[in-house]
Amino acid sequence: MGKFCNECNKPITDEVYNYSMKYYSRALCREHQPNPTKSSYTTKKKPEPTPEALRLGNLLKNMGYKVEFEKYDGFKHIDIAIVDKKVNIEVDGSQHHGTKQALRDLKRTYYSWNKNFVTLRIPNSLTKPDTIEETAKYIDKFLKKDRGQLEKEIKEEYVEEGNPFWEDVDNFVNGVNNIINNVSDAVSSVSKTFNSALKKFK
């Protein structure tokens, strides 16, 4: 369904609609947005990538990935976008730990998910000289391998370290499956009893 200006009913693009809703809480074309010359997104400068995002993005570039810095997706600017892989990478500083910002980040992640993009949130601590190369290598694995392969490797790594995490996960999954089976059996039993009662009344 198309989007239209509330004032003149002219069709507007998703980009104009998203900007208008964010700043004016109404669908308005550029002509009907207050002070368009001052506040329009068209006059806003593209943000400069942070040093942390630059370091990580350039490492990924050297690995052969097509990296775009501060790419606008119609809702927000992405720190590092790898469009052909449908992956967004956000490099987060300490300001992202607050409740309001964390909720804002969650909404942004949801928006990307609806466009079939996965968002990786990387804390600044993983872009320091002693950690950034390992971080880039793990992102490289993520981009190259399917989910099943990644889960297998991570599980093997936890098992090697003697971490009981995956045993707990398996127990949890088995428990959920048992609950589902028990509920299914109960529903089946109730259904049989109900059908039997119906036959007596016929």
pLDDT of residue 40: 43
Residue type, 19: Y
- Total number of domains constituting the chain: 3
pLDDT of residue 39: 42
Same domain? For 195 and 113 the reply is no
Same domain? For 60 and 32 the reply is no
Token code pair at residue 99: 């409740």
User: Tens of pLDDT along 102-119?
Assistant: 777 777 777 777 788 888
pLDDT of residue 201: 57
Same domain? For 71 and 131 the reply is yes
Same domain? For 56 and 139 the reply is yes
The residue range of the domain holding 194 is 148-202
User: Tens of pLDDT along 53-84?
Assistant: 999 999 999 999 999 998 888 777 889 999 98
Closest C-alpha to 54, from 28, 19, 36, 80: 80
pLDDT of residue 35: 58
Regions of the chain with pLDDT less than 50: 36-43, 96
Same domain? For 56 and 122 the reply is yes
Same domain? For 139 and 110 the reply is yes
Same domain? For 159 and 195 the reply is yes
Same domain? For 61 and 119 the reply is yes
Domain CATH number, residue 68: 3.40.960.10
Cβ contact 77:46 at 8 Å: yes
Residue type, 39: S
Cβ contact 79:70 at 8 Å: yes
